[in-house]
Amino acid sequence: MMESGVSFCNSCGEQVGVDANGEVFVACHECFFPICKACVDYENSEGRSVCLRCGNPYAADKTRGNDATKVLGKQSTMAAQISTSQDVGLHARHISTVSTVDSELNDESGNPIWKNRVESWKEKDKKNKKKKAAPKAENEAPVPQEQQMEEMQPSSEAAAAEPLSVIIPVSKSKLGPYRTVIIMRLVILGLFFHYRVTHPVDSAFGLWLTSIICEIWFAFSWVLDQFPKWSPINRVAYTDRLSARFEREGEPSQLAAVDFFVSTVDPLKEPPLITANTVLSILAVDYPVDKVSCYVSDDGAAMLSFESLVETADFARKWVPFCKKFSIEPRAPEFYFSQKIDYLKDKVQPSFVKERRAMKRDYEEYKVRINALVAKAQKTPDEGWTMQDGTSWPGNNSRDHPGMIQVFLGHSGAHDIEGNELPRLVYVSREKRPGYTHHKKAGAENALVRVSAVLTNAPYILNLDCDHYVNNSKAVREAMCFLMDPVVGRDLCYVQFPQRFDGIDRSDRYANRNTVFFDVNMKGLDGIQGPVYVGTGCVFNRQALYGYSPPSMPNLPKSSSSCCCCPSKKPTKDASELYKDAKREELDAAIFNLREIENYDEYERSMLISQLSFEKTFGLSTVFIESTLMENGGVSESADPSMLIKEAIHVIGCGYEEKTAWGKEIGWIYGSVTEDILTGFKMQCRGWRSVYCMPLRPAFKGSAPINLSDRLHQVLRWALGSVEIFLSRHCPLWYGFAGGRLKVLQRLAYINTIVYPFTSLPLIAYCTLPAICLLTGKFIIPTLSNLASALFLGLFISIILTSVLELRWSGVTIEDLWRNEQFWVIGGVSAHLFAVFQGFLKMLAGVDTNFTVTAKAADDAEFGELYMIKWTTLLIPPTSLIIINLVGVVAGFSDALNGGYESWGPLIGKVFFAFWVIFHLYPFLKGLMGRQNRTPTVVILWSVLLASVFSLVWVQINPFVSKVDSAAISQTCISIDC
């Protein structure tokens, strides 16, 4: 998986070699799949002259005169892909031995030593292979015809010969006009700005210049947002084909194991019942139980979370068999029992009604026990919490406590009420000590990566927020259709699912569903290099989290590690950076060579690992280091469980990550509260791709903060993380240009994710301009000519057509688009504005802002939280904009009434401008009012009256108009001949 200095053929294992020009032989110039010339000739002789990975034809060999580059039919292409699935696609668990490392053998300057040892091992390995090959050829007995038929039968099955997923591109009838309108709009924007810049308004030059700057920035933001959606695609996964290929009757399942991560911090803000439903939906997922492990991270070390998990593990023994017996959906009990549908649909078992009624009664009793624990936890005893055995709870001080791990369910001895095996359930609370930086959620996720690697080491990881339950029990199978595909999954770092939410009001007042982002933007990114990582509902390739590069990527040049967009010929790094790069190259070569060598003993392997100083990258744990070398995952079956638990406690220590690459190159990346964007960006800069999976039934569902204040704080946290990335070394404007592994449109998308908060500055200025124009009687646009009117009309039409055609290929409704537009203004003038200032305060003055956990709804009242008013400073800017624009409209009409008929013409443009702002802020205004039927009428009357009085007084005073010079007026009158 790591890059190396020598390329080896993925078919025969020998070196790729060089071509006639003395350069490294490259068969496929599309994906650079490493394969030697001999294997290419063999594939051509067998009638398979296409790349095993991407399906593109091999480059023609000029030294041969044959027609070796003909593209064969789809069947032969697929047969060639399937023929390698036994080596590439199967992710069976491997058995490893835990090696101990003698620290005295470390030799940081011993590069020649291990290189010579590796070369000697490789020579010995080649000689042994040759010796084994000769007797094998002599003693090889003819295989009976029946056995040959049995061996060929699986590959000839129709299901195994079909792809696990297909790409369904958007039809040209929809995408062609969409792209044409985008180009037209770009041209119109150029003509529009040419007119605006060449026609200044001298009477209001300051207002005109401000509007020009704002409009240019809006156009730049539109380009960043629009062009990554140039090639949207849809994908379809075939779970039945996955089962036919990896799950054969009478044989153990060959599906890859998956470790589930669930993160929680504060059980009072994130109710334990919500977290418990997420855990129960994971334990009941439609996947082999021996392949599923659930890790719950309690970063607050709360005894309430621990005790609720005890109750959850006990209830799971009843809930899991009930779900699998009757194939119910969803498998989170709270949301299953609250469904307002016919639960008898497709349930033909006569005992279903009786068992459902009994299960619902058991769940209500379980809820009573959980709620009792919550009520008890409301008041913490002075002496702290005490466990049942009388000992003090280790996490009484949430900022100073040891690491805690408890395995509730496991693969040995944990069975449900019907005697069936249950998935593993593990409670984890990492160590916290004063003086250590714990990196919040990103640090907790990295601790889970290490714990899971020691205990189960599944090759894939699925992380979920505590309020996102599994809504589709086959979601993991959907992801495996991509990750386990021998062609598609080879370079995949993760499979991202869209976020879907429960409990949102029907009109989605504050755009909580983010439908435009998840159904439009993410589809567009899937057609480039893949969607961005959004923090939850994502299945990771564990090897990608370890900082490895994709297996098919060619080596980067030595200057590729530079982050500068214009790398110079001479190295500009300091000594420390060069030392880190050298160590990284050592690690790459070591892992590759370890995989190529077969004949060496464990002592030599331990010496090599120690000599390469793996611990400087992964930390001081030989067990964990061994797990990183297993591409297909797995732990030793002979390993002592108590020893593994001790090692797991060690790897979650608060000082384990010191002087390592954790958070810098490995795992979740530190440096921003939106660690998700940063983590996905780093992976794709290494050349990894991602996939967007949208099953018909939503894979996961969560709860969203529908209250206005909580929603704004959530958006503030996201925007602040983007500003932090912008001010860091990982800014997409300059990071990762060398090597060219991040595509141009993908980089534009990442730039958009970190610069969008800065749109708040021109946005709040642009929303203030209408009121100023109405109050001063000036305007930012001069008198329009016919050409100018045509430009303005063309711009408005192109904006409307872009939206309509976007709705046409994405399936998003016009209401979703309008809500997204409204909240873009609401969030832009409030949360995004505060995020920009907080980000610069943190950089310049070191003033850090605390991470606030968004409260999860636990109230049964439908939309009850929607009308709650929680005062926050984020409400001030939008409220001020609404007031001044309303006052400006009243003042404008009052001025027009006093000014006569000629004043109404210029007023139309100004009022339209002001109403554009008011209509966009209307949901915010409704949020301030709370319930409409509770808004006092007297408040509305007084507001209208005060606005009218103020406007009339303003018109009478009119401070922006110069005072009348009576002497000049009298002189003018004298000169008039009456």
Q: Say which DSSP state 464 is in.
A: E
Contact in structure between 460 and 539 (CB atoms under 8 Å): yes
The Cα–Cα gap between 102 and 603 comes to: 10
CA angle 720, 723, 727 (to 5 degrees): 140
| Short-list 698, 709, 238, CA closest to 477 | 238
| Short-list 827, 568, 600, CA closest to 716 | 827
**Helix/strand/coil (H, E, C) string of 256-270?**
CCEEEEEEECCCCCC
234 C-beta neighbours (distance < 10 Å), count: 17
Written as six digits, the tokens of 356 are 């459902």
| Short-list 173, 213, 227, 177, CA closest to 798 | 177
Distances (CA, A) of 641 to 76, 167, 455, 652, 796: 48, 44, 8, 17, 67
Contact in structure between 316 and 409 (CB atoms under 8 Å): yes
Side chain identity at residue 502, one-letter code: D
Strands 460-465 and 538-541 come out as antiparallel
The Cα–Cα gap between 411 and 415 comes to: 9
Strand (E) or helix (H) holding 709: helix 708-726
* b/e map 26-61, b = 16+ CB within 10 Å: bbbeebbbbbbbebbeebbeeebbbbbbbbebbbeb
Q: Count CA atoms closer than 13 A to 569's CA, side-chain side.
A: 0
Written as six digits, the tokens of 604 are 């030599």
Distances (CA, A) of 766 to 118, 223, 299, 771: 65, 19, 43, 10
Annotated ligand binding at 74? The verdict is: no
For the chain, first and last CA: distance in Å? 98
Active site residue 860: no
Contact in structure between 262 and 462 (CB atoms under 8 Å): no
Active site residue 676: yes
190: left (phi over 0), alpha (psi -120 to 50) or beta: alpha
Contacts of 161 (CB under 8 A, 6+ apart): 75, 78, 79, 82, 155
The Cα–Cα gap between 682 and 741 comes to: 11
* Active-site residue, selected from the candidate residues 61, 491, 676, 895: 676
820 C-beta neighbours (distance < 10 Å), count: 18
Strands 258-264 and 460-465 come out as parallel
Find tokens 């998700």 and name the residue: 676
Annotated ligand binding at 465? The verdict is: yes
DSSP bridge partners of 425: 294, 409
Contacts of 470 (CB under 8 A, 6+ apart): 278, 281, 282, 284, 285, 330, 331, 332, 464, 699, 700
Annotated ligand binding at 508? The verdict is: no
Annotated ligand binding at 291? The verdict is: no
Contact in structure between 792 and 935 (CB atoms under 8 Å): no
Q: Say which DSSP state 596 is in.
A: H
Annotated ligand binding at 440? The verdict is: yes
Classified as helix, coil or strand, 436 is coil
* b/e map 132-156, b = 16+ CB within 10 Å: eeeeeeeeeeeeeeeeeeeeeebee
The Cα–Cα gap between 333 and 283 comes to: 12
Contacts of 936 (CB under 8 A, 6+ apart): none
* Active-site residue, selected from the candidate residues 299, 519, 710, 816: 299
| Residues making up the binding site | 263, 269-270, 299, 440-441, 465
Catalytic residues: 299, 676
| Residues making up the binding site for Mn(2+) | 441, 465
